[in-house]
Chains A and B, each alone.
Chain A
């Protein structure tokens, strides 16, 4: 499965982190690939509720928008949402964003996963584990053989 997982330890209690990732006020502060501003943030954080975020990417000065539905909302432990880029730009298809919050002595451990990134193909290739193939071939290209 084409997925990406990142883990962050944050010095804030899970309730605060949870609100930062589910409320419009919170999302407006951090969502996006670079320092470009969030232009629109709307959320309805309950199962079946929707969200929409529009941001400006500084790199190319282009606005992008993603939206989706809250699939699981368990404050302050877990939130799962579907993800779709507006007009399929930069990528078509629906993917899934999952955040799990764990209490640790210093605050919160956030495990963030964006999965089903390349929907049809990634589902089909799941068993095959093409990521292994990519890793191997990437090593070759890193050596400079084109």
Chain B
């Protein structure tokens, strides 16, 4: 099994390119598409689109299925969910820490006032 940091690297790397994000946004709007449909809005050649799709597929962000001569590309949720979870973990960590920090500092403040300062 691929470990999570490695998968996260791939997800973030795949998302770091504007064309790939546009492809994902397209797939989100139309719920899947063929490669030539996906290439339409871009002024780049089909092979370049295929290369972007390879990166997205390696990151697990899309799946490709072939039926006859047509390849249909679809969005996949799992890696994105992992990326969100990863970010939220830090948020929970600090949110919980800062709550305790606030009550600790407030008790120190009360102590200082009692001492007359």
Give me the interface of A with B, judged by CB distance under 8 Å.
Answer: 2, 4, 6, 8, 10-13, 16-17, 19-21, 26, 29-34, 88, 90-92, 107-108, 110, 112, 114, 117-118, 121-122, 124-125, 128, 130, 133-134, 136-138, 140-141, 145-146
Could you tell me the dominant secondary structure of chain B's interface residues?
helix
- The CA-CA distance from A88 to B8 in the complex, in Å, is 14
Is B97 touching A10 in the complex (CB atoms < 8 A)?
no
Please, what's the 1-or-0 string for B58-79, where 1 marks a CB less than 8 Å from any CB in chain A?
0000000000000000011110
CB contacts (< 8 Å) of B76 on chain A: these are 146
Question: Which one, A33, A88, A110, contacts B92 given CB within 8 A?
Answer: A33
Q: In the complex where A29-B100, A33-B96, A110-B98 touch, is A16 in contact with B109 (Cβ < 8 A)?
A: yes
- The CA-CA distance from A125 to B75 in the complex, in Å, is 21
CB contacts (< 8 Å) of B46 on chain A: these are none
- Name the residue of chain A whose CB is nearest to the CB of B78: A146
- Name the residue of chain A whose CB is nearest to the CB of B90: A4
- The CA-CA distance from A21 to B100 in the complex, in Å, is 11
Name the distance in Å between B62's Cβ and chain A's nearest Cβ. Answer: 12
Is B15 touching A134 in the complex (CB atoms < 8 A)?
yes
B25 within 8 A of A: yes
In the assembled complex, 12 residue pairs joining A and B whose CB atoms fall closer than 8 Å, in A order, are A2-B87, A8-B101, A11-B102, A12-B108, A88-B5, A117-B87, A118-B9, A125-B15, A128-B21, A134-B83, A141-B77, A146-B77
Name the distance in Å between B101's Cβ and chain A's nearest Cβ. Answer: 4
Please, what's the 1-or-0 string for B89-117, where 1 marks a CB less than 8 Å from any CB in chain A?
11111111110111011101100100000
CB contacts (< 8 Å) of B95 on chain A: these are 6
Name the distance in Å between A84's Cβ and chain B's nearest Cβ. Answer: 14
- Name the residue of chain A whose CB is nearest to the CB of B91: A4
B51 within 8 A of A: no
Is A118 touching B12 in the complex (CB atoms < 8 A)?
yes
CB contacts (< 8 Å) of B108 on chain A: these are 12, 16, 19-20
CB contacts (< 8 Å) of A30 on chain B: these are 97-98, 100-101, 104
Is B16 touching A121 in the complex (CB atoms < 8 A)?
yes
Q: In the complex where A4-B87, A20-B101, A130-B21 touch, is A112 in contact with B94 (Cβ < 8 A)?
A: yes
Is B28 touching A136 in the complex (CB atoms < 8 A)?
yes
